[in-house]
A and B are shown apart, each in its own frame.
Chain A
Amino acid sequence: MNAAPDLPLWAAILVSLLVVAGAAITLVGSVGLVRLPDFYSRLHAPSLGATLGTGCILIGSMLCFGVLRDRLLIHEALIALFLTITTPVTMMLLARASLYRDRVEGNRAAPEHDPEPTEL
């Protein structure tokens, strides 16, 4: 796929902006893993890369190959679909495993019982 030089300037600029933006957002998410104080907070950080980060990169990819008319733009849609469906499975598994462990070991990171439901 050595087609990049054929990309018109406007498309090249847009594509690179989108890809860099996506990579930057994913980087912020990874930085969050270091900066956030506890396990449950850290769970929120990787979603940045899985949602807006991937989204920007996929739109950039769609734009690039759409302008080049290289192929249909279905792969990106499938990637987005699979990521959206599979990421929550991992996240929920991690959250529940950690909650279970914290409760069994009596750690203070997790509440011993569910807090009372918020009344509206």
Chain B
Amino acid sequence: MIRRVLPHPFLFVALLVMWLMLNQSLAPGTFVFGALVAFGGSWAMVALDPPRARLRLSRLPPALRLAGRVLVDVFRSNLAVARIILGGAERRTHSGFMTLRLDLTDRYGLAVLAIIMTCTPGTQWVHYDPARGTLLLHVLDLVDERQWANLIKQRYETLLREIFE
């Protein structure tokens, strides 16, 4: 059994490839050291005991669509937040907290949503309550809560559920 020696073979390969790319060489020394690092990394993962994630090729198109959407939104919200920062003092006082009910429950899906929310300037993921399925957000430009809720649910959550559930 390969998993006796290598508990997470995919992770091992990914770490090794990353190491080789960082060093940009295929010299035997780099290879051996990279394999050692990857070996240590995949055994460290055993201690964390992450729930299994499945890789499916059919999930690639929605994942690419999501990546495209996020790129566009990050660009747009960068400009929006820059405008707020450089704008008048009144514009800077519309921030506030809001709560949102999420239908997404997959841990990896939530992690990706957290990255999207936090990387997009203007929205900040604060706290997810798994018992109630609610997410506490801080929004810089909180004029219409329903507009934000719709945006997150329609633009991201639908696709994330397609990908992870």
- Residues of chain A at the chain B interface (Cβ within 8 Å): 25, 28-29, 31-32, 35-38, 40-41, 43-45, 47-48, 50-52, 71-72, 74-75, 78, 84-85, 87-88, 91-92, 95-96, 99, 110-111, 114-120
Interface positions, chain B 66-93, Cβ under 8 Å from A, are 74-75, 78, 81-82, 85-86, 92-93
List chain B positions with a Cβ less than 8 A from chain A: 18, 21-22, 24, 74-75, 78, 81-82, 85-86, 92-93, 95, 97-101, 114-115, 117-127, 129, 134, 136, 138, 140, 145-146, 148-150, 153
Are A92 and B126 within 8 A (Cβ)? yes
Q: Are B78 and A117 in contact (CB under 8 A)?
A: no
What are the residues of chain A within 8 A of B127 when measuring CB–CB?
96, 99, 114
Q: Are B81 and A92 in contact (CB under 8 A)?
A: no
Residues of A within 8 A of B153 (CB): 120
* Complex Cα spacing A115 to B127, Å: 12
Contact pick for B150, options A74, A84, A120, CB 8 Å: A120
Tell me if B115 and A118 are in contact (CB < 8 A): no
C-alpha spacing A74/B19, complex, angstroms: 11
- The answer to whether A78 and B98 have CB atoms under 8 Å apart is no
- Let me know if A117 and B99 touch, CB within 8 A: yes
A4 CB, min distance to chain B CBs, angstroms = 20
What are 29 inter-chain pairs, A to B, with CB distance below 8 A? A35-B92, A38-B95, A43-B124, A43-B138, A44-B81, A44-B121, A44-B123, A47-B120, A48-B81, A51-B74, A72-B24, A78-B22, A84-B115, A88-B118, A92-B126, A95-B125, A99-B136, A110-B97, A114-B134, A115-B97, A115-B136, A116-B99, A117-B99, A117-B101, A118-B101, A118-B146, A120-B146, A120-B150, A120-B153
Are A31 and B85 neighbours in the complex by a CB distance under 8 Å?
yes
Other A-B pairs, 9, CB within 8 Å; known A44-B124, A84-B119, A118-B149: A31-B85, A41-B95, A48-B82, A51-B119, A51-B121, A84-B115, A88-B125, A92-B125, A117-B101
Known: A40-B95, A71-B24, A110-B97. A96 touches B122 (CB 8 A): no
Interfacial chain A residues near B99, Cβ < 8 Å: 114-118
Pair B97/A85 contact, Cβ less than 8 Å: no
Given known A-B contacts A44-B140, A88-B114, A78 and B97 have beta carbons under 8 A apart: no
Q: Tell me the minimal C-beta distance from A79 to chain B in angstroms.
A: 10
Residues of chain B within 8 A (CB-CB) of A88 are 114-115, 117-119, 125
